[in-house]
Structure 1
Amino acid sequence: MIGGVFFPKKSNNLISNSWLKIILGSWDDMGNLSWASACLAHIYRSLCNASARAVKEIDGAMFIFQFWAWEHLPWIAPKVDPDKEWGPDHPLRHEAYGCRWLGETTCDNLGAHKLEEYRRRLDHLWEAELKFDPYPERIVAHHVHKFPLHPGQWCTRVPLICHHIVEWHLPDRCLRQFGREQCIPLDVPESQKGYHGKDGRQGPTNWPEEYKPLIRLWNVRQGQDIVTASHVGRMGYHDPYLETYRRQSVRYMTPEGAADGALVDGIERIHDLARTADHSAAGREVGMIRRIANNLLGCMRARGRDHRRYPPVPPVRPPPV
C-alpha cells in the first residue's frame, strides 16, 4: 500500500527505510497519523519534480491526480455508462467518490492521446470547458461524515509534511474549486521557502525536530481557513486576480497558443483605444477601426471573454497564517 499505491517511487514497490518505524509501530499510532495530508504532500513534490525540463517520468499517487483531472476537465475524461453513474443505488456508493471511475468506460472522446493535442486544447481552454467545483452538494453531504476535519479546513493554508517532504497547501490559489471568490493569493513566507529544498539526501536527520516550526503551524490549523465570499457567475478577463496571474505566469505551452493569445489581446487593445479615442478628431476612421476589431473578436469566439475593466481598488487578501 505504501510503496505501490499512496507513496510510490520510481523504484516500483520499494520503500524507504524511513517508513519502517511507522510500519512496525502499533495500529493505534498509525491511525492517529494524517495519511491523506502526507499523500498530498508526496503528490505535490512529485508534480514539482516532474516540472523540471530534464525529467521524463513522474512518481506519486497519480491516480488521485488523474481523478482530479477527469472531474475538472470533462473533455479528457473517459465516458461512464449513464446507467452506471454514481448515485444512491451504485454498488460502490459507500466507497470513495473516485470509485465511480472503476466501472465500464469508453475513451472515444480522447482522440489520439497525443501530447501536442492536449497542450493545444489547454492553450485554447474556455471557462465553460473547466468545472471548477464538479462535486454536487449531495455528493459532499454523502461523504463529508468520513472526513475527520471540518470542510472549512480544506481551505486552510498549511504546510503538509511527509518525512523530509514539505509542501504548502495553498488553497487561496484555487478558491473557485471550493466555490469561493478568488482573491490575489499570498506568497509563502520567505522564512519557509528553504524547507522546500530538502530531498532526503542530507543524511540521518531528526525530521520532527528539524520541522518543529512547521509542525507547530500544522497543529494550530483549526480556524485558519481562508474566508471569502461565494463565487457567483463568471470571472471577468480583467479581474484583479487574472491580471496578476498573467503578469506572473507562463500563459501558454505552445507557440501557436501564444500567437493566438497575442492576436486576441492585440485586437482587444485596438478596440479599447478606438473606444476611448477623440472621435471628433479621427472621425469615421476611428469608428471603422472599432467595428473591425469588434468583428474580429467575434470571429475568434473571443466575444465570450468578459472584457469588463475593474476599478483600481486593492484586492481582498486572506489573512496570513
Structure 2
Amino acid sequence: MTGLYHLARLNDRWFRLDEPLVSAFVKRWHPQTHTFHMPFRECTITLQDVAYQLGLPVDERYVSSFLTNFHVYIDGGRPAWVWFQELLGVLPPANQVQKFAVNCTWFQETFGECPVGADEETVRQFARAYIMMLLGTQLFADKSGNRIHIRWLHYVARLEEMDAYSWGSAALAWLYRCMCRVANRHVVKLAGPLQLLQSWIFWCFPRFRPAGYDEFSWPLASRWSGHNPSGSEKGPRVQMWRLMIDMLQARDFIWMPYSSPDVLQVVHPEVLEPRHTALWRCVTALIYFAVVEWHQIDRVLPQFGRVQPHPQPVLNIDFLMSRDGRGGDRWFPYALQFWHVHWENYVDHVLRFDVVADLGPSHDFLDWWS
C-alpha cells in the first residue's frame, strides 16, 4: 500500500491536543542538542518512538525533492495547477487557494466520500486527495493548521511507490524543526505532528498520563483515542505543567516503554525488522525537503538500553535553520547534498552496543552533568 496504512487507521482514533502540556514540554526543548533538558537528565523523541507511536516506516528514501516546479524537475512534467487537475480531476476555486496551498475545507467538501460505483480513475483521485489531507494535517501541518500544500502531487502521482519513502523520519524532522522555531524565536503557534509528541509524553511520563486508558492496540498512539483534556484557561495550566516538570526525578521517566510484554503482543512485526531497528540507533540527518535536523540519540542512550557516557560535542547546524524552502524552489537533494548523502549512508552511523539492565549514568557522565 502507501506506507501510511497505520496512520490512516489512527486518523479515525485521534485525540484532542493538550496544548498547555505540550507547550510546557517544548519550553524544555534545546535546539542545539535536539533533546528535552529535564531536571534528571536529557531525553528526546526518536525514530523508534515514531515507529511505535504512529506505525510509520523509517527505513526508506528521504522525503525530499522540490515544492512546486514540477515542469522544471520532472521529465514531461506539467505546471503545478495543470498537474493538480490531471491527478485530482478538479481545480479549487481561487478563493480556496493561498499561493501553493489549498484550504482543508475544500478538500473535505470535495473528496469527503467516494461515490458508490466509482470507476478506477475516480477512486485513485479520491485516494490521492485523502493522502494529501492525511499528510498535510496529521504529519506536516503548518501553523495555519487548515491548508494543504501541493508539494505532495509529486508523490501521489505514483501511489504504488509511496511505501518507498521514510515518512517517519520526515515527520520527526518536521517536529524537531517546529520545536526549534518555538525555542529560538518569538513563535507562539505550535505546528507539526503534535499528537505524536503528546502520545510520547503520555507513554514515557506516567505522571502526565490521563487515567482510564490502560488498554492499547496498534499503533500505540491509538491508546489515547477519545482523550479530551480540560478546557480551562490555558495560562494557569501551562504554569502548572511547567512546575510539575521542574519537580521530575529519574524515576518519573520510563526509559524503555516498548520493552514490556504487553507492547510486544500488539506491535506490528514489520517494525521489528533489522532494517528499521538499526535506524533507531543511528546518529544521522533527518530530512523533510529543505528541513534538515539531527537525530542525536548518542545523548539519550538509556532510551535504547545503554549506560550514558559523557556525550560528544554538539554538532552545530544552526545555519540550516533558515533553510526551510522559502525563497525559491530548488532540487533539495542537490542543494543540501551533504545531508542527503549522510542519510543514504546511515548504516555507517549506527551505534552498536549491548543492552544492560542497570541504566544508571556512568561516573564521567555524572561529573559532566553536575
TM bucket (normalised to shorter chain) is: 0.5 to 0.7
Q: Distance in 2 between matches of 1:75 and 1:243?
A: 28
2:277 to 132, 151, 157: 151
2:139 corresponds to 1:16: no
Code of the residue aligned with 1:120 in structure 2: it is: L
Q: 1:81 to 1:165 in 2, by over 3 A?
A: closer
Corresponding residue for residue 167 of structure 2:
35
Q: Distance in 1 between matches of 2:265 and 2:186?
A: 43
1:98 to 221, 228, 237: 221
Give the C-alpha shift of residue 16 in structure 1: 2.9
The count of aligned residue pairs is: 230
Q: What percentage of residue pairs aligned between the two structures are identical?
A: 26
2:300 to 165, 174, 177: 174
Question: 3-state SS of the aligned residue for 1:51?
Answer: helix
2:249 corresponds to 1:126: yes
CA deviation profile, 1:63-87 (whole Å, cap 9, x unmatched): 00000111111111101255xx23x
Code of the residue aligned with 1:145 in structure 2: it is: P
2:344 to 215, 219, 223: 219
Code of the residue aligned with 1:171 in structure 2: it is: I
Q: 1:34 to 1:106 in 2, by over 3 A?
A: closer
Question: 3-state SS of the aligned residue for 2:154?
Answer: helix
Q: Distance in 1 between matches of 2:136 and 2:237?
A: 29
Q: Distance in 1 between matches of 2:143 and 2:314?
A: 29
CA deviation profile, 1:55-108 (whole Å, cap 9, x unmatched): 2111001000000111111111101255xx23xxxxxx3x3022122167898x
Code of the residue aligned with 1:17 in structure 2: it is: I
2:320 corresponds to 1:195: yes
CA deviation profile, 1:7-30 (whole Å, cap 9, x unmatched): 01112231333333223x201222
Corresponding residue for residue 65 of structure 2:
none
State the TM-score, normalized to the length of structure 2.
0.56
Q: 1:28 to 1:3 in 2, by over 3 A?
A: same
Q: Which runs of 4+ in 1 moved over 6 A?
A: 104-107
Q: Which has the larger radius of gyration?
A: 1
Code of the residue aligned with 1:133 in structure 2: it is: M
Q: 1:144 to 1:240 in 2, by over 3 A?
A: farther
Instruction: Determine if contact 2:307/2:360 at 8 Å carries over to the other structure.
Output: no
Unaligned runs of 5+ in 2: 1-133
Question: 3-state SS of the aligned residue for 1:79?
Answer: coil
Instruction: Determine if contact 1:81/1:105 at 8 Å carries over to the other structure.
Output: no
Q: Distance in 2 between matches of 1:114 and 1:7?
A: 26
Instruction: Determine if contact 1:176/1:231 at 8 Å carries over to the other structure.
Output: no
Question: 3-state SS of the aligned residue for 1:80?
Answer: coil
Code of the residue aligned with 2:169 in structure 1: it is: S
Q: Distance in 1 between matches of 2:201 and 2:297?
A: 17
Corresponding residue for residue 240 of structure 1:
364
Q: Distance in 2 between matches of 1:105 and 1:166?
A: 33
1:185 to 303, 307, 311: 311
Instruction: Determine if contact 2:213/2:223 at 8 Å carries over to the other structure.
Output: no
Code of the residue aligned with 1:161 in structure 2: it is: I
CA deviation profile, 1:111-136 (whole Å, cap 9, x unmatched): x9722222222222111111111223
Code of the residue aligned with 1:9 in structure 2: it is: D
Matches within 5 A, 1:285-304: none
Q: 1:96 to 1:12 in 2, by over 3 A?
A: same
CA deviation profile, 1:185-216 (whole Å, cap 9, x unmatched): 334555x5533431222312110111222221
Give the C-alpha shift of residue 228 in structure 1: 3.4
Question: 3-state SS of the aligned residue for 2:147?
Answer: coil
- Quote the RMSD (CA, aligned, Å): 2.6
State the TM-score, normalized to the length of structure 1.
0.64
Q: RCO higher in 1 or 2 (8 Å CA, sep ≥ 6)?
A: 2
Instruction: Determine if contact 1:38/1:162 at 8 Å carries over to the other structure.
Output: yes
Instruction: Determine if contact 1:80/1:106 at 8 Å carries over to the other structure.
Output: no
1:6 to 139, 154, 157: 139
Q: Distance in 1 between matches of 2:246 and 2:227?
A: 30
